[in-house]
Amino acid sequence: MPDKTDHAFPGPLKQGVYEAIYRRRDIRRFLPDPIPEETLLRILNAGHQAGSVGLMQPWNFVVIQDRSIKAKIKSVFLECNREAAKVYTGERQAMYDGLKLEGIEEAPTNLCVTCDPIRKGPSVLGARTMPEMAVYSTVCAIQNLWLAARAEGIGMGWVSILDPKEVKAALSIPDPIILVAYLCLGYVESFPEIPVLEKIGWEKRFPLEKVLYWNHWGGSEGR
């Protein structure tokens, strides 16, 4: 009988996977150095290896390096950010105003990740009862991009303070394509030891026990 650990990665490879997961950060500050094309393609191919419902592979990657396009997206961010700031008051507003929430023009490469929910037609295996699986599959690709970028020593930041309709118009993305993520990628001076929002006290990470149930919602028995 084969050893049950035969399929585990060797120690250093296993540790590398966990290192990428635990040391991944949402990056906002970038160096101007361009990402070599072969490195960028390795990261994109890692994203393309993501699992997807019915193997539908609903994603597309729009690589943006043109400064004029970045400037259009930055203007969309600035308008959306002004509106987002109105939610906060007092000390929280001051903290929000001090946050750097994007690196659109600084990052040498921007990447828009989209989802085509009808790429494989109306009868995708596994998606009949949960059609949103197309978007969930695309998010799996984004996580692959993030971990691969971290392994390459490249920072990645997800900019969500954007109007999807305006971004789609700026990038000529047609309907029914869904904009899922606008990402900034580039080399960095350093990766924070802990997430910035945790460091400044905006939020803190929950312990695993707070989000873990056994056998049913709220369950703690049966372990």
Tens-digit pLDDT profile for residues 102-158: 999 999 999 999 999 998 878 888 888 888 999 999 999 999 999 999 999 999 999
Contacts of 177 (CB under 8 A, 6+ apart): 60, 114, 115, 116, 168
Q: Considering the chain, what is the average pLDDT of its residues?
A: 95
Q: Please state the rounded mean pLDDT for residues 92-111.
A: 97
Q: Please state the rounded mean pLDDT for residues 44-59.
A: 96
Residue 57 has pLDDT above 80, yes or no: yes
- pTM as predicted: 0.94
Q: What is the pLDDT of residue 220?
A: 85
Predicted confidence (pLDDT) per residue in 199-220, tens digit = 999 999 999 999 999 999 998 8
Q: What is the pLDDT of residue 123?
A: 81
Name the one residue in this structure whose structure tokens are 């390795």: 42
How far is 145 from 183, CA to CA, in rounded Å?
10
Residue 73 has pLDDT above 70, yes or no: yes
Residue 180 has pLDDT above 80, yes or no: yes
Predicted confidence (pLDDT) per residue in 5-25, tens digit = 789 999 999 999 999 999 999
Q: What is the pLDDT of residue 91?
A: 95
Q: How far is CA 186 from the centre of its chain?
A: 14
Going by C-alpha positions, the residue among 18, 9, 29, 7 that lies closest to residue 147 is 18
Structure confidence at residue 223 as a pLDDT band (50, 70, 90): low
List, in order of start, the domains of the chain with CATH numbers: 26-211 (3.40.109.10)
Residue 221 has pLDDT above 80, yes or no: no
Q: Are 159 and 104 in contact (CB under 8 A)?
A: yes
Residue 2 has pLDDT above 80, yes or no: no
Structure confidence at residue 3 as a pLDDT band (50, 70, 90): confident
Give, for 91, the enclosing helix (H) or strand (E). Answer: helix 90-97
Contacts of 37 (CB under 8 A, 6+ apart): none
Residue 46 has pLDDT above 80, yes or no: yes
Structure confidence at residue 1 as a pLDDT band (50, 70, 90): low
